Amino acid sequence: MRGIVSPKLTDFLALVNSNIALAKQNNVQFTPAILRENLNKLGALMSDSPSVSYIADKAFTLTDRAIPVRVYSPAPEQPLPVLVHFHGGGHMCGSVALYDPICRHLASIVQCVVISVEYRLAPEYPYPAGLDDCEHALIHYAELLDDVNHQDSVTIIGDSAGGAICTSLSMKSLTDKQIKIDQQILIYPSVDYTLSSPSLDSNGTGFLLETPRIKWYFEQYLQLSESLSKQQIEQVKQASPLLGPINAHLPKTLIFTAGCDPLRDEGIAYANALTAAGVEVEHHAFDGMIHAYMLLHDLVKEECMATYQHIVAFMAKA
């Protein structure tokens, strides 16, 4: 069923759809540079950026690379919960800088330490490079909090591709005891790389994120050919958290879906699968919202603030 979008987004989507139509008319092809520039433009719609008393850019130093992170704390002397944040962007776009206003809101509203991870992006660094960076940050996060008081529990949070990273790490935690996750918070997550969900058809055009772009993201991230080989088909299935092992040992989960999102149905399916397996799940559906609504704060402030408040309530139950 196609979603019915909020009137708050009508003018924004009219402009977006006009630009998409013009690009198609001029046969403009997807490139990492174009898509990164387009996503970064949404930063202009997050003008509300609260101050946070402690913000520091740090990095994990490995033998072959560094993994930059930005640490936020509203009260570095207090033992606050830890949120490890993985940004969205189709595994190809997004950055700590773009998501800075969101992380500031999380730190100040939720009253927690936020660690925002600058993981490597495809196609320069395809799967599983970015996932490996996020796994390292999750396992070793405390090493960068020597001057920030914090609790020992850790919650992971991500939107879209960041949600894919969260659920992938949760899936891996079932067999890798180094990975400790107390809770996961998923905002319109991508959990199925097979592109099987009905909402990819019903919501796949006209709502900012369109199905052809999702397919292209996945091709770059997983290094897929146009015609998938049997080996690639199996790789796509194995990488998809919705199709992987799901049991009661997965972490307690808070999940948000958007009614006009092509990824809506796979998010709902993941929530239902966790519930059926005995995982404690809280699901909130924002029916009039589109994918990436958290990046549109100035247009849908009420919905964004409601999302933060649901996170507050969820964290308070830990």
Q: Is the pLDDT of residue 226 over 90?
A: no
Q: CA 161 to CA 165: how far, in whole Å? A: 6
Written as six digits, the tokens of 40 are 């970064």
How many other CB atoms sit within 10 Å of the CB of residue 290?
A: 27
Contact between residue 158 and residue 85 where contact means Cβ atoms under 8 Å apart: yes
Give me the mean pLDDT over the 269-273 stretch.
98
Q: Is the pLDDT of residue 227 over 90?
A: no
> Would you place residue 104 in the very low, low, confident or very high pLDDT band (cuts 50, 70, 90)?
very high
Q: Is the pLDDT of residue 225 over 90?
A: no
Q: Is 310 a catalytic residue?
A: no
**Average predicted confidence (pLDDT) for the chain:** 97
Q: Is 261 a catalytic residue?
A: yes
> Would you place residue 179 in the very low, low, confident or very high pLDDT band (cuts 50, 70, 90)?
very high
Q: What pLDDT does 303 receive?
A: 98
Catalytic residue among 91, 150, 291, 297: 291
Contact between residue 265 and residue 203 where contact means Cβ atoms under 8 Å apart: no
pTM for the structure as a whole? 0.98
Q: What pLDDT does 199 receive?
A: 98
> Would you place residue 55 in the very low, low, confident or very high pLDDT band (cuts 50, 70, 90)?
very high
Catalytic residue among 160, 190, 197, 240: 160
Q: DSSP letter for 29, please.
A: P
Q: Is the pLDDT of residue 107 over 90?
A: yes
Q: CA 304 to CA 80: how far, in whole Å? A: 22
Residue keyed to tokens 């402030």: 301
Condensed to tens digits (0 to 9), the pLDDT of residues 121-157 reads 999 999 999 999 999 999 999 999 999 999 999 999 9
> Would you place residue 8 in the very low, low, confident or very high pLDDT band (cuts 50, 70, 90)?
very high
Q: Is 182 a catalytic residue?
A: no
DSSP per-residue string spanning 130-161: HHHHHHHHHHHGGGG-TTS-EEEEEEEEEETH
